[in-house]
Amino acid sequence: MNDLVSRYPSIPWIAPFAVFMLLVAVSPSLPFGQPWESIFRVGALILTIAVFSRSIVKALHVEHLLASIGLGLAVCALWVAPDLLFPGWRSHWMFQNGITGTLQTTIAPAELADPLVMLLRVTRAALLVPILEELFWRGWLPRWIVNNDWQKVPMGTYTRLAFIATAVLFASEHGPYWEVGLLCGVIYNWWMWRTRSLGDLVLVHGVTNAALSGFVLVTGRYEYWM
Under the banding of pLDDT at 50, 70 and 90, the label for residue 1 is low
pLDDT above 70 (res 40) = yes
Output the pLDDT for position 76: 98
pLDDT above 70 (res 124) = yes
Q: What is the mean pLDDT of the chain?
A: 94
Output the pLDDT for position 157: 97
Q: Tally the C-alpha atoms within 13 A of residue 48's C-alpha that lie toward its C-beta.
A: 24
Output the pLDDT for position 128: 98
pLDDT above 90 (res 84) = yes
Under the banding of pLDDT at 50, 70 and 90, the label for residue 150 is very high
State mean pLDDT over 171-189.
97
State mean pLDDT over 131-141.
98
Which one, of 67, 13, 47, lies nearest residue 207 by Cα?
67
pLDDT above 70 (res 165) = yes
Output the pLDDT for position 27: 81
Q: What is the pLDDT of residues 13-36, one digit of tens each?
A: 999 999 999 998 888 788 888 889
pLDDT above 70 (res 139) = yes
pLDDT above 80 (res 108) = no
Q: Is 220 exposed, middle or buried (0-12, 13-18, 19+ CB in 10 A)?
A: exposed
Q: Report domain extents, the chain.
A: 2-224
CB atoms within 10 A of CB 50: 11
Output the pLDDT for position 32: 83
Output the pLDDT for position 225: 84
Under the banding of pLDDT at 50, 70 and 90, the label for residue 107 is confident
Would you say 136 and 14 are in contact if contact means Cβ atoms under 8 Å apart?
yes
